[in-house]
Amino acid sequence: MEPVLSPSQLHALEVTERVASVLSLLAAAAIILTFVFSPKFRKPVNRLIFYASWGNLFANAATLISRSGVRAGPSSALCQFQAFLIQMFFIADALWNLAMAINVYLNVLKKYNAEQLKAMEWRYHLLCYGTPFVIALVFCFVETQGRGRMYGPAQLWCWISSDWAFMRIALFYAPA
């Protein structure tokens, strides 16, 4: 699929994306540093934000790459790495939001205490980082003669290529 945007529009989006990525990286780093250096910040819900922030660092590192992955080509290590990061950590971010909502539910309605909530965290890690990792890793190896590699250019960055767009809907947009 040919780009629908002009080169100047793509450049403007690339600059905007990189600036936003840097700001997001700084915000995630601030959350991590606050958690590490401030014992008052280490409450159950803040721990989940801390865990999610690590994923945000990786997601924003992927968006910081921006169109460099696309320019490197669909078979390049940069494009494949960027696509893996985006597939894994964008979904992980949504799943951490789900984990936080579950935590609120358990705390408010089921009256879980801090110890019970902390005992749930290994399950959250498995759900939020384990599940997207398996999916993102499998996608690294999916390739057909008709469609090519699953990971490839997706206009603004490398992700699930346009030849595999139905997989974007099935495993990214629909579950969200």
Residue 162's CB is within 10 A of a number of other CB atoms, namely: 14
Question: What pLDDT score does 141 carry?
Answer: 96
Q: Under a CB-based contact definition with an 8 Å cutoff, are residues 125 and 51 in contact?
A: yes
- Flag whether pLDDT at 3 surpasses 70: no
pTM passes above 0.85: yes
Question: What pLDDT score does 176 carry?
Answer: 60
Question: What pLDDT score does 44 carry?
Answer: 72
Instruction: Report pLDDT digits (tens) over 70-102.
Output: 999 999 999 999 999 999 999 999 999 999 999
Q: What dihedral do alpha carbons 152, 156, 159, 160 form, nearest 10°? A: -70
Tokens of 54: 């690590």
Instruction: Report pLDDT digits (tens) over 31-55.
Output: 999 999 999 998 877 999 999 999 9
Confidence of residue 2 (pLDDT cuts 50, 70, 90): low
Q: How far apart are the first and last CA of the chain?
A: 25
Instruction: Report pLDDT digits (tens) over 103-138.
Output: 999 999 999 999 999 999 999 999 999 999 999 999
- Flag whether pLDDT at 148 surpasses 70: yes
